[in-house]
Amino acid sequence: MRNLATTVCALVISIAALAQTPAKTTTAPAQKSGAVVTSNPEPKKAPGRHYPISKNQQTLNLKVHVNGMKSGYVLLAYYFGDKQYIYDTAYSDPKGNLVFKADTAVPGGIYILTRPGSWFTEVILTEEQNFSIDIQDTLKTAESVKVSGSKENTSFYEHQKFIAQQSKSVEPLRAGLERAKAAKNKDSIAYFNKKISAIDSSVKAYKRGFTVKYPSSFMSKIIKLSDEPDFVPYDKCPKKADGTIDSTYNYWVLRNSYWANMDWSDERLLRTPVYHNKMKTWVDRIVPQHPDSLSYHVNWLIDQTQQADLLYRYTVSVLTYQFESSKIMGFDAVFVAIVENNHMKGKCWWISDETTEKIIKHAKQLKFCLVGNQAVNLFLQDSAGKVVELGKIKADYTILVFWDPTCGHCKTEIPAIKAYTDSLHKQGVSVEVYAIYSELDYPTWRKYIREHNHTWKDVCAKDEVELATAKYYYEVYSTPTLYVMDANKKIIAKRLDDKGLKNWLNRRIEQDRKK
């Protein structure tokens, strides 16, 4: 079970590896930079789905000249999600000329020309793939590049040159702002913020003008997707019915328009830095960080991507891994929701049956022990052989813990948990501990609880089957494993260590007292 996150992560990597058909490549010298890694061949196609090629699509014939480069190699790489992968390698002649060729068209997106550790520049490959690019200055590629035979890249470098100029203008202002902050000079801080804001506004205006000037370009599609609404100053926000300012106004404007410019049918956006970052911001910052809200909105997002097969595959894989391996308590419910809406419905056809079965099995197991669910009742026996039913324990808070006296972590955490619960008892807090021995060496267990004066509900399984069943329902793969339940035996917290238990339960007790 502990290896499932690795399995799902491998799916993400394999999706990226299958996203490209590489041209014939000459092995390049070893790279010093790890920013670009090698890709593998093209994926299987989705059953029953067609992948048309535009009538205007050209085969790859990218001619490059690098001024001052007498010999050496250049990599052609591409973005895929939040990573970059090598597509091809070409070697220059003594005058710095080289060519990237392929018998087929390269999938559209933003590509990278680079000598790792030295320089890089970007090009857009869409239907135009037969053109020339002249890099006059590798230290200032955005300003020095000249393009012939590609309207898309001519406009792209117009954009890059403007952005480079504005970046150069804002650098001394940002440095001045840092000095002003260090000196705590309010007037200077206000001055530099105003100057920086003016440049930011000019950049936003330029980008919006670019999309009007070049409405059909791929770069315009990227800019529109990256654009954000103009926020209203707090004192200008609309007022609520009670006359107070609606402080959430800008948030709702952003949230409601966040995906307005997304073309869900265009998988080229996956081969840019934009889609992955926008997806992660949506999931990690825009959507309320509650399992129910995340489950709804994550599945909504995944559903939109089904218009483009590769986009869907990437999104499912990344988000499945993120929530299956999340360390945030309760977020495993989002993993379960993703699996129920996708893997269990047979949508993830590219994943092997064996891996799919593992993912589904894990999701089904997790459903028994999600935060907010009713705890599975257990009937285990104490050291005297008397059955103790979990569901009949009378307490405002019940701590269920699987433990083993020979476990290294248990030797530290179990005494700490005992000291904490003893202190709660002295405060009059109604709390009980249902401590389940995670092994079958009964003499060792009985000796420990006798020597340490346990007043808990110390219980054990009568045999291997009963123990395995209890561990299954509570997803026990290591010890100690701890859950907290309310008076009705609903799970309210899980997988806390002794310090986490103390901090979390103290807050919960205080909240319940106020109620």
**Which residues lie across from 46 on neighbouring strands?**
none
Which of the four pLDDT bands, split at 50, 70 and 90, describes residue 453?
confident
**More reliable by pLDDT, 196 or 29:** 196
Domain boundaries along the sequence of the chain: 4-148, 160-226, 276-369, 379-514
Lowest mean pLDDT among 8-17, 149-158, 202-211, 247-256: 8-17
Cβ-contact 73, 25 below 8 angstroms = no
CA dist., res. 92 & res. 4, Å (int): 45
State the Cα torsion 295-298-303-309 to the nearest 10°. Answer: -130
On average, the pLDDT of the chain sits at: 90
CA dist., res. 199 & res. 226, Å (int): 17
98-137 tens-digit pLDDT = 999 999 999 999 999 999 989 999 999 999 999 999 999 9
pTM of the model: 0.86
CA dist., res. 141 & res. 153, Å (int): 13
- CB 349: neighbour CB atoms within 10 A? 11
CA dist., res. 132 & res. 61, Å (int): 9
Which of the four pLDDT bands, split at 50, 70 and 90, describes residue 298?
very high
In this prediction, residue 10 carries a pLDDT of: 43
pLDDT above 60 for 159: yes
In this prediction, residue 58 carries a pLDDT of: 85
Candidates 514, 512, 330, 328; CA nearest to 431 is 512
Superfamily of 4-148 according to CATH: Carboxypeptidase-like, regulatory domain (2.60.40.1120)
In this prediction, residue 163 carries a pLDDT of: 95
205-238 tens-digit pLDDT = 999 999 999 999 999 999 999 999 999 999 999 9
- Enter the tokens of residue 133: 């690019």
- CB 85: neighbour CB atoms within 10 A? 21
CA dist., res. 8 & res. 318, Å (int): 8
In this prediction, residue 32 carries a pLDDT of: 31
355-403 tens-digit pLDDT = 999 999 999 999 999 999 999 999 999 999 999 999 999 999 999 999 9
24-71 tens-digit pLDDT = 333 333 333 333 434 433 445 555 444 444 556 789 999 999 999 988
- Mean pLDDT for 313-334 is 97
- CATH class of the region 379-514: alpha beta
> CA separation (Å) from 135 to 122, 151, 246, 364, 368?
11, 17, 51, 56, 60
In this prediction, residue 57 carries a pLDDT of: 73
Contacts of 506 (CB under 8 A, 6+ apart): none
pLDDT above 70 for 415: yes
State the Cα torsion 490-496-498-500 to the nearest 10°. Answer: -100
pLDDT above 70 for 195: yes
CA dist., res. 416 & res. 410, Å (int): 9
